[in-house]
Amino acid sequence: MYYRYRQRIIDMDTKRISKTIEDILNRQVRKEAEAAQIFLSYAIWADDQGYEGVANLLFRHSGEERDHMMKVIEYIQNRGGKAKITALNAPPADPKNLKECFERLFKHEVENTTSIYGIVNLAQEEKDWATWNFAQWFVKEQIEEETLVMDLLDKLKIAGGPDATDESLLLLDSQLEQHNDEADMARDADVENP
C-alpha cells in the first residue's frame, strides 16, 4: 500500500487503471461489503433459531466476504486508483426458514458471479490484462462459493426438503458444525490469501 507515496515522490501520472475499471472495481468493493453484512444478518438469524452449525458457517463466511472486499481495495490502491467506501444497503429481512435462507444465498452468489464476469468483460474490452488476471481469482472463488451453497441446498433436500422434521433439521445443523471444513473458509485467510 505504499503506492501513493511512490506516486508523490516521482511526481508523474502512474495510475495504471482507467476510470471505468476503477469505478467497476469500486462497485465490487461495495458488493463484497454488502455480502458480508447479508451473511452476518443471516448468521444472527440462524443463531437466534438455534441452528448453531449454520450460524457458525455463515459467521465465518461473512468474514470471507470482507476479505474479498479488502482484496479489491488493495488492488485498486496498488494500481494507483482510489478505493471508495460508501453507504451500504441494509440486508434483506430475515428468511422464513432454512430453505429460504439457502436459496437466497445461492441467488446472491450467482448475482455476484455475474458482477465478477462484468469486471472480466470490461478488462478484456480495455485490454487491461492485469485487471483481467486479478479478476480470475474471483472467477475461481465464485465456483467454490456457488458449490458451497448448492451443497447446503442438497443437504437440506436429503433432510426432507419442505417436509423436513425439526429433528432432521437439527441433525443437518449438527452435521454442518462437524463438517465445516468442507468449505474453505475465512479462518485462515488474510488479504494475501483470502
Site string for ligand FEO, 35-54 (x = CB under 6 A): x-------------------
173 near ligand FEO (CB under 6 A): no
Report in angstroms how near the CB of residue 77 gets to ligand FEO at its nearest. 19
Residue nearest to ligand FEO (CB): 68
Residue 68 or 79: the one with the smaller Cβ distance to ligand FEO is: 68
Residue 126's identity, in one-letter code, is E
Which residue in 66, 68, 79, 99 binds ligand FEO (CB under 6 A)?
Answer: 68
- Please state, in angstroms and rounded to a whole number, the distance separating the CA atoms of residues 14 and 60: 37
Shortest CB 15 distance to ligand FEO, Å = 26
Pseudo-torsion of CA 100, 61, 143, 151, nearest 10°?
-50
Looking at residues 116 to 145 of the shown chain, list those that interact with ligand FEO (rule: CB under 6 A): 145
Separation of alpha carbons 83 and 14, rounded Å = 16
Q: Does 58 bind ligand FEO (CB under 6 A)?
A: no
177's grid cell: 458444525
Bin 175: left if φ > 0, else alpha if -120 < ψ < 50, else beta.
Answer: alpha
**Number of residues lying near ligand FEO (CB under 6 A):** 7
CA distance 37 to 171: 27
Mention every residue, 6+ apart, whose C-beta is less than 8 A from residue 23: none
Kindly state whether residue 71 participates in binding ligand FEO, applying the rule CB under 6 A. no
**Least gap, CB of 65 to ligand FEO (angstroms):** 5
Binding residues for ligand FEO (CB under 6 A): 32, 35, 65, 68, 109, 112, 145
